[in-house]
Amino acid sequence: MSMTFHVNIVSAEAEIYSGTATMVFAPAEMGEVGITPRHSPLLTRLKPGEVRVRSDDHEEMFFYVSGGLLEIQPHIVTVLADTALRAKDLDEAAALEAKEQAERMLADQKADFDYAKAQAELSQAVAQLRAIQKLREKMHT
């Protein structure tokens, strides 16, 4: 029997996978990494892509992650997957939106909820479109 280690793939909203593996491939920021047992401790960010888990009986499982963090210890590998698309300007747009919402709430005497919601949804959609474009550009280059 080959050596195995434990793999956990979790996102903030749910546990995605937990089990043993002989090898794991992950899309790290500096290029894809293949992890075998007794890897030295490593911490890195993940790009959007595929995490492959090779189990004991040479079966491979695929998990899509939209980014996140990868923690490696000799006998345990943890993938902290993001549930949301993360890009710096996307985060900034969200922060701006949160600020604006507070300002709007304080300014409005009677809060016009539908208007505020529509505005929020619009700016969210715009920001997401921008992030998707950026990702596409990156993939093509």
Give phi and psi for 48, each to the nearest 5: -60, 135
Applying CB under 8 A, the site for other proteins has a residue count of 43
- Roughly how many angstroms between the first and final C-alpha of the chain, as a whole number? 42
Binding segment toward other proteins, per CB under 8 A, in 19-27, 50-58, 76-84, 129-137 = 76-84
Q: What is the DSSP letter of 66?
A: S
Q: Which residues pair with 122 in a beta bridge?
A: none
* Distance, CA of 81 to CA of 91 (rounded, Å): 17
Query: Is there binding between residue 29 and other proteins (CB under 8 A)?
Result: yes
Q: Where are the beta strands (DSSP E) in 12-103?
A: 15-21, 23-28, 31-35, 42-46, 49-54, 60-65, 68-73, 76-81
Determine contact, residues 22/92, Cβ cutoff 8 Å.
no
Q: Which is nearer to other proteins, 3 or 102 (CB)?
A: 102
Q: Choose, by CB under 8 A, the member of 50, 75, 95, 115 that binds other proteins.
A: 95
Interactions with other proteins, residue window 102-121 (CB under 8 A): 102, 105-106, 111, 113, 117
Query: Is there binding between residue 20 and other proteins (CB under 8 A)?
Result: no
Structure tokens at 2: 């080959």
Q: Which is nearer to other proteins, 98 or 126 (CB)?
A: 98
Query: Is there binding between residue 98 and other proteins (CB under 8 A)?
Result: yes
The contact set with other proteins (CB under 8 A) reads 8, 10-15, 18, 28-30, 40-45, 68-69, 71, 78, 80, 82-86, 91-99, 101-102, 105-106, 111, 113, 117
